[in-house]
Amino acid sequence: MPCPEKKVLNASCDAMTLKKLGRTVIYHTSAHGIPNIFRSRHWFRRLVWLSFVSFALCCALWQCTEMVLTYYTYPSHEKIMLISSAKLKFPAVTICNLNSVKLSSLKRSFTMATSLHDSGLELTHRRNRSLGLNGSSEFVDEHVQYTNAFNKFASEFNQLSDEQKIEMGHQLEDMLIFCSFHGQECNSSYFSMFINYKFGNCFTFNSQKATDVKGNAGSTQPLNITKAGFMYGLHLELFIEQIEYIRDITHAAGIRLLIHDQLQMPFPEDEGVNVPPGAETDIGMMKVHIDRLKAPYGSKCTEGENIKNFYEDTYGAAYTKEACKRTCAQQSIMENCGCTHWEFAFPKVVLVPKCNLSDVAIRQCVKLYEYKFAHDELNCHCPLQCQEELYELTVSGSQWPSTAFIENFAKELKEMGGQIKEIADNPALIRDNFLKVVVYFKQLNFELIEEEPSMTEINLISNMGGLVGLWVGFSVCTLAEFFELLLDILLLLIRRCLRTEGNQEGYTNPYIQKQNPIYIQRTTKL
């Protein structure tokens, strides 16, 4: 039967051991303040130290909580660097004639000529020209009338097939009279074509999109430059065929020029600069490359995965926020109006017809979604792209050809023959129909704007360690001390459990063998 006195002794020893372990750690811990609570002999000093330590612990806990909450807001900041490079990828350059349909092609098309007459564009044009300075309100009304008439004509034009629209527009072979890049001559094979609802045929130099509107394969290798400056850019001399302009549709002469990334879909109706005839326009570029962070950071950018993009289906263009918004607008019109709008791209396989704006119900429906698109009310999920390349432009111009050079230029034009030969004898017509544009890099460097996390996991741990060290003097070594205490307590409890099991079974000396008792007879001497 186990001895009760022995159990009491073991429990007392365990309690003394636990107390000794705790006291040893508390008195010798590297955490500031805690040992002073127990070393102080006067109760008031203990109370003061306890108050200080409690206040410090609360402050450390509060600031660490704020730090963790800040981390989970995923803050970011932008880092701007100027990167020098031995060579730079030359961007895509898109040109569109400001006149969408050639007059001669329009006259050959009875349907389109009738549509132009029925739209009232000629009447509107004369009224606008006859307004005086005091007719501002009337001018606004006439401008609205002109816009409505133009939209009617554009609707009729965009009912045509792509082949018909291409044939009626300006051709690059007629417009391009000279092309050179980086000092080497180029030709129309360096360009790919697409159709814009407002400008008709547009042509992109150095495009990397998979195919163009004709199905021709795009360039797989982008052009690079190894020298900056005017002489090593893209030089274009263009014939805008102003004699083919339709006066009631096109009120300005020249080309619309855009500079953009090779895989980006250009939107000349909203972007770019106008280049006038009779002038040389020099455009110096500075490349700006932007890198954004994906979710959960603030930009929440995307590479376009799992986001519908009709411009990729039609032109092989990469994802951009603008392409996404236009795709969303087209999708909304298809679902709610039952047709596809010519202002936006549409999928290759489409089961609904093109929108006929002569139908009042369809016109009102399309106008509603055009308004929502213009005012960003479509609730489209269109985040920014993670990588974006922009170009800051410096535009300057001068008269071209100069008075001294125009005779030599006229001789070159006469050798080309055709319609150009007829214009070559008239210097005024030369300046009305020809222009030169030069696109070049100002320097062989670019600006990198990189979005970076303001707080990483390492920053979080470092900041929390600094706060805990500041307020209560904790460090990794302090945590090791408390870990050692927990380990000692665990071992002590294990030993106690083992000892308790041994006491329940009874104590047996392994060195004494149990034998039968031997009785010895005692004798008494008398």
pLDDT digits (tens, 9 = 90+) for 422-463: 888 899 999 999 999 999 999 999 999 999 998 888 888 888
Fill in the DSSP letter of residue 232. Answer: G
User: What are the backbone angles phi and psi of residue 327, rounded to the nearest 5°?
Assistant: -65, -40
pLDDT score of 314: 84
pLDDT score of 390: 95
Q: Which domain holds residue 491?
A: 4-72+457-505
pLDDT score of 125: 43
Of the two residues 355 and 390, the one the predictor is more confident about is: 390
pTM of the full predicted structure?
0.77
SS3 content of the chain, % helix, strand, coil (to 5): 45, 20, 35
The answer to whether residues 196 and 185 touch, using CB atoms and an 8 Å cutoff, is no
Q: Region 212-233: what's the mean pLDDT?
A: 77
DSSP H or E run through 43: helix 43-71
Q: Is residue 36 part of a domain?
A: yes
Q: Is residue 392 part of a domain?
A: no
Q: How far apart are CA 334 and CA 484, in angstroms?
A: 70
Q: Which two tokens stand for residue 391?
A: 């170009």
Q: Is residue 350 part of a domain?
A: no
Whether the pLDDT of residue 121 is over 60: the answer is no
Q: Distance of CA 240 to CAs 100, 170, 366, 406, 435, Å?
A: 11, 8, 33, 17, 8
pLDDT score of 25: 67
Q: Region 43-70: what's the mean pLDDT?
A: 86
pLDDT score of 118: 54
- In this structure, of 12-21, 371-380, 411-420, 509-518, the range with the lowest mean pLDDT score is 509-518
Q: Region 20-37: what's the mean pLDDT?
A: 69
Whether the pLDDT of residue 127 is over 90: the answer is no
Whether the pLDDT of residue 369 is over 80: the answer is yes
pLDDT score of 315: 85
pLDDT score of 471: 81
Whether the pLDDT of residue 212 is over 80: the answer is no
Q: Distance of CA 248 to CAs 99, 148, 410, Å?
A: 10, 13, 30
Q: Is residue 63 part of a domain?
A: yes
Q: 124, 119, 192, 198: which is closest to 158 by C-alpha?
A: 198
pLDDT tens digits along 333-344:
999 999 999 889
pLDDT score of 258: 96
Q: Is residue 30 part of a domain?
A: yes
Total domain count, the chain: 1
- In this structure, of 132-141, 297-306, 376-385, the range with the lowest mean pLDDT score is 132-141
Task: Round the average pLDDT of the chain to a whole number and report it.
Answer: 82
Beta-strand ranges (E) seen in 270-378 are 273-275, 279-291
Whether the pLDDT of residue 398 is over 70: the answer is yes
Question: How many other CB atoms are there within 10 angstroms of residue 274's CB atom?
Answer: 13
Q: Is residue 396 part of a domain?
A: no
pLDDT score of 419: 82
Confidence of residue 201 (pLDDT cuts 50, 70, 90): very high
Largest CA distance in the chain: 172
DSSP H or E run through 196: strand 191-196
Q: Is residue 322 part of a domain?
A: no
pLDDT score of 350: 79
Confidence of residue 132 (pLDDT cuts 50, 70, 90): very low
Coil, helix or strand at residue 267? coil
Q: How far apart are CA 34 and CA 54, in angstroms?
A: 10
pLDDT tens digits along 6-16:
444 454 555 55
Please give the single-letter amino acid code of residue 173.
E
Q: Is residue 365 part of a domain?
A: no
Q: Region 416-427: what's the mean pLDDT?
A: 85
Q: Region 73-79: what's the mean pLDDT?
A: 91
Buried/exposed 24-48: b ≥16 CB within 10 Å, e otherwise: ebbeebebbbbbebeeeeeeeeeee
